[in-house]
Amino acid sequence: MTDGQTGAGQIPPGASEWAEVTDPAWNVKFDRREAGLSLIFSGQCPRCLHQTNFTVPRVRPDAAGGRQRPGPEVLTMYCECGYPHEGHPDRDNSCGAYWSYEAEL
Ligand SMILES: [Zn+2]
Ligand SMILES: [Zn+2]
């Protein structure tokens, strides 16, 4: 037991507690990687600044009779940083942030 803790500044201010929030001003840039029938987006959560991955199933243009879907899709990403932010619900080890992301699927 210790008391009188001072200057422990490991967590960015305002991002330590779990909250289901989004902000259109977040400028999110993730790396896109193909992994079999999935796409893995990896990058930094704009809220808690932890590293996070987001996996989505790939859309195969040839699976629907050659119909191609031009242009990117908008998907909703969630923080999956794995860090147990304070106040997080059971089984949700993230900061709770979510955001829209435009990507080729
Ligand atoms: Zn986090
Ligand atoms: Zn986060």
Q: Report domain extents, the chain.
A: 31-59+71-103
Bridge-based pairing of strands 98-103 and 38-44 is unpaired
Ligand 1 geometric centre to CA of 52 (Å): 8
Q: Going residue by residue through the chain (105 aa), what tens digit of pLDDT does each one get?
A: 545 444 444 545 546 899 999 999 999 999 999 999 999 999 999 999 999 999 998 876 665 565 566 778 899 999 999 999 999 999 999 999 999 999 988
Ligand 2 geometric centre to CA of 20 (Å): 10
pLDDT at residue 4 in the model: 47
pLDDT at residue 72 in the model: 86
In 3D, which of 61, 62, 65, 59 has the Cα closest to residue 38?
59
Write down the pTM of the prediction: 0.75
Please tell me the number of the ligand nearest to residue 23's CA: 2
Ligand 2 geometric centre to CA of 58 (Å): 24
